[in-house]
Amino acid sequence: PSSPSGDAMTRTKIAFPAVRATVTAVFAVLGLMFLTPVAAHAHGDTVKVVVTGQREGRVTVDITWENDGDAIEENVAATVNATSPDGSRTLGPWRLVRAAGASRTAWTTAEALPPGSWKVSVDVGFPSLGHGELDVAVPVVDPAPATRAPAPTVAASAQPSTQPSAQATAAAPTTASTVAGAGAQATAGATEPAGDDSDSGFWWTTAGVAVLALAGAATGILIRRRRRLRLR
């Protein structure tokens, strides 16, 4: 049979590893509890907010950790407000989004400020507190000129509607002058004597008439003489 002292030693040997494991776990938990805040606050308790200006009316902001200047990897919860110099107009609150194609520290707004002077303030609430403000001037951008069709194209498009009437008007005097010219030529052809052939025919006709007249006169003289002879 075992002695009471031997049982106590056996129990002590069995219980010691369990106690050691428990103590190790407690220290591990305490170490994590102390190390977690240190890791969370490695960058500092505040963020640095610098309003850099505007791009096409959109507010641009540069946000980093205050202590080391590192970029903030988390999504930033911030509000952007803008006020006119006389305080009559206010815009916002707007939120910040990461600027596309820029550095990890660049943020911007999705909304755009209208032309004019604005006092812009940015307040960051997460992952830490931060504030920044700047007077921003948004210039007036002239609208793009409207595209107009060139004058020759417009004249060419309008020409088909007016060309037929113009052609008809121009054709009317031409046709009348052509008809008048043809009539004048016909009248001139009727009144003017023919060429050399017509002249020779005219003279032959005149000569024939003269011969017939002389023959008639001679015949009349002969008849008168015969009558006188008979009367005697």
- At residue 44 the predicted structure's pLDDT band, cuts being 50, 70 and 90, is confident
3-class secondary-structure state, position 118: strand
Q: Could you report the per-residue pLDDT of 57-87, keeping only the tens digit for each? A: 999 999 999 988 899 998 999 999 999 999 9
Give the model's pLDDT for residue 50: 97
Exposed / middle / buried, residue 51 (Cβ in 10 Å: 0-12, 13-18, 19+): buried
Q: What is the CATH topology of the domain spanning 47-138?
A: Immunoglobulin-like (2.60.40)
- CB burial readout 99-123, b (16+ within 10 A) else e: beeeeebbbbbeebbeeeebebbbb
Count Cβ atoms below 10 Å from residue 183 Cβ, excluding itself.
Answer: 10
Token pair, residue 42, equals: 């490695």
- At residue 210 the predicted structure's pLDDT band, cuts being 50, 70 and 90, is confident
Mean pLDDT of 123-149: 87
Signed CA dihedral, 47, 53, 54, 58: sign only: positive
Closest CA to 90 of 60, 114, 106: 114
Higher pLDDT, 129 or 195: 129
Residue 13 has pLDDT above 60, yes or no: no
Higher pLDDT, 5 or 179: 5
pTM metric for this prediction: 0.47
Q: Where are the domains of the chain?
A: 1-40, 47-138
Give the model's pLDDT for residue 187: 45
Weakest mean pLDDT among 50-64, 113-127, 179-193? 179-193
Closest CA to 137 of 32, 227, 51, 49: 51
Q: Could you report the per-residue pLDDT of 123-135, keeping only the tens digit for each? A: 999 999 999 999 9
- Contact between 71 and 104 under an 8 Å Cβ cutoff? The reply is yes
The residues near 60 (Cβ < 8 Å, ≥ 6 apart) are 51, 52, 53, 54, 99, 106, 107, 108
Higher pLDDT, 188 or 140: 140
Closest CA to 104 of 63, 56, 49: 63
127 preceded by cis ω (within 30°)? Answer: yes
